[in-house]
Amino acid sequence: MRIITYNIHKCIGGVDRRYAPARIAEVIAHYGADLVLLQEVANRSPRSGGDRQVDLLG
């Protein structure tokens, strides 16, 4: 069983500090984990544009 933990920093990251949920989803998919534990996931906050990030990440 492969388990990963990932602090997604509300989907803001990379060297450009952009809000990019798709980029976070790509990183998660790359590892092919059976269980993913996420920290700093926004739920309809203004910073995330009102998104439920857990829905965007699959």
Mean pLDDT value across residues 47-56: 85
Q: How many folded domains does the chain comprise?
A: 1
Confidence band for 49, pLDDT divided at 50, 70 and 90: confident
The model's pLDDT over 4-38, given as tens digits with 9 standing for 90+, comes to 999 999 998 788 999 999 999 999 999 999 999 99
What does the alpha-carbon distance between residue 51 and residue 42 come to, in Å, rounded to a whole number?
8
Q: Whole domain around residue 9: which residue ranges?
A: 3-56
For residue 48, what pLDDT is reported? 75
What does the alpha-carbon distance between residue 38 and residue 36 come to, in Å, rounded to a whole number?
6
What's the whole-number average pLDDT of the chain? 91
For residue 16, what pLDDT is reported? 92
pTM: predicted TM-score of the whole model, two decimal places? 0.80
Residues forming beta bridges with residue 43, ordered by sequence position: 52
